[in-house]
Chains A and B, each alone.
Chain A
């Protein structure tokens, strides 16, 4: 019942109120528990519990009564906490203690509150010989003993012996313990409360971040306090809209590419029928370029890495294939690294990424020297060339879509998407690409691929087997 009410009215405010109530209850509960376990802490000090009035009354009675009655009164008024003794004269051990205090703070206090006119003597029980009959037998009780002697108007004395002067702890200590308990209980509840409040917010943040890198991400669970639920709902609606938009765009791209391919095929076949004539050959060359640009653009738009299933591959085998391909095409390329090394990845996408980088090295740098090494929890592929390198100021720009560097030959001009696609794919693997101008001249492209990374073993879902991600921006 209470649970249902709480659930139906779950707001951040309610959570705060509950947390505060819980804090207070815990603090009180802890204090009570400690008082029960150690009773002294729960009780007020002796001097604040009416004892002063009792003492004053008793002393006044002693002063008025006859000696016999005084003896009886001493017996009657004594209890477990303190004892009265009446003596005609101050007993020797008391009188002979070295420093019976007739002055001082304690005495002044007693004089003000209890016994204004007649003599008062505070005695340190430790100075009384241990075998004195006026001391209790129990040695522990003896050390705690506080004794005060009050002179009556006829010159006799009432000696008060309190086995423990103050209940429990000093007031400073009590304040300290109380404060600590408060801080402790508030701390505990605050921690709990922060978790209670921040968990749904953190979940929300994580989902928003996930959506940032994966447009196919599953919606956020709409749970938690009302405000968070509303925010999650709004977020999910937005995510669904974006996903629909991306899907539509992807389908549009697929449709366009299908049509384009049909025309390209026609052109290709027509050009081949014209082959032998120079114009036919030129057309074929143009077509080849058109096709490669279209392929790259589509790959960029589709974001293959996001929807390809992750499987472990033997990375050197892939690097060997790419390097061999470059060599077969007449380029200078070599691989230097371990013969086997397993990396979980999206193989087709990664092949495209590394292929693009090796192609670039050959195209702009004249060769592709590929190495592979393991650095901590990542594999690092380095692709070096002997080209002019890339000025520091251009290092970020070359990753932007449709940026083209000056190629050696016009026919080498690419789509301007090679690096963009490569970086997208590598980042989808939780890695990154950095560019390094070598001291010896040439550019080194450093690709780091984490071995564990953010790799799911399954492709991201929700967009099914449709191409998942269109380019944004």
Chain B
């Protein structure tokens, strides 16, 4: 039995030896490893670095790791292979680093079990925000093994592809959503027929990715309505519940 996984899966943060999460950084560039170790330590994380697959496995054998930051381009076994290997054996969350900022990479990574993706060059702030978001999500959902990314959600002829982060209209056209809008729609589609307060929406959507709303939920909702409602003034999908929040009314089916 591997000893990787959340330090205290049953009671996050409380029973661990140290309260600060332990991050394993796997990157073949020593400069980046050192810098990431410094930056993350500055933000209060414990950090171990590994330069390749062997070192990563060795670290996992001896230490309890809360999150792995994994570079895609590694000598020998590449990041994708390691990501698959890791996610098949352990629920430890994975954030992948890639030099290619392209969609296919992200999708492949997410399908292999990565929790998030960040393209090089990135800022420490961005990385820390994502680490927080992923840890928080891992903390709220008690996961035995990585839940495979859910495929699609269907509502009223619309198709919401969670992995590819795509929304397809009943006419079959891709509808462009910003990250925030997409997360919001997923939050709605996950809770059809339920009243969601603004705070809940913010919370759910934030937990999904590190995308922080820089606009109020109301603006995001109105922008979303403009894209998916036939008449944004008389919304059929996202109803406003006065003084309380919003409700997503269509029936949602997992595809």
Contacts and interface: CB of A to CB of B under 8 A. Distances in A.
Contacts of B57: none
A262 B176 contact: no
B223 A328 contact: no
A265 B38 CA distance: 14
Contact of A342 (B29, B99, B171, B178): B171
A347 B177 contact: no
A261 B120 contact: yes
Interface in A342-393: 342, 347-348, 351
Interface stretch (B44-52, B122-130, B193-201, B246-254): B122-130
A465 B104 contact: yes
Interface string A311-338: 1111011101100110010000000000
Nearest to B72: A258
Interface residues of A, number: 37
B158 to A, nearest CB: 11
Interface stretch (A95-103, A269-277, A395-403): A269-277
Contacts of A339: 226, 232
A420 B235 CA distance: 41
A458 B140 CA distance: 41
Given A262-B120, A268-B122, A324-B223, A273 B42 contact: yes
A264 B35 CA distance: 12
A314 B173 contact: yes
Interface in A144-173: none
Most buried by A among B36, B122, B175, B181: B175
A347 B124 contact: no
Measured as residues with beta carbon below 8 angstroms from the partner, the interface class of chain B is: 35 or more
Contacts of B174: 311-314, 347
A74 B107 CA distance: 109
Nearest to B73: A258
Interface in A55-90: none
A328 B123 contact: no
Interface in B187-244: 214-215, 223, 226-227, 232
Contacts of B169: 314, 340
Contact of A321 (B101, B176, B214): B176
26 contacts: A264-B121, A265-B121, A266-B29, A266-B31, A266-B32, A268-B122, A270-B35, A272-B124, A272-B125, A284-B123, A295-B101, A312-B172, A312-B174, A314-B176, A314-B227, A318-B176, A320-B176, A320-B227, A321-B176, A321-B181, A324-B178, A328-B215, A339-B232, A342-B173, A347-B174, A465-B104
Interface of A: 254, 257-258, 261-262, 264-270, 272-273, 284, 287, 291, 295, 311-314, 316-318, 320-321, 324-325, 328, 339-340, 342, 347-348, 351, 465
Interface of B: 29, 31-32, 35-36, 38-39, 42, 73, 99-101, 103-104, 120-125, 169, 171-178, 181, 214-215, 223, 226-227, 232
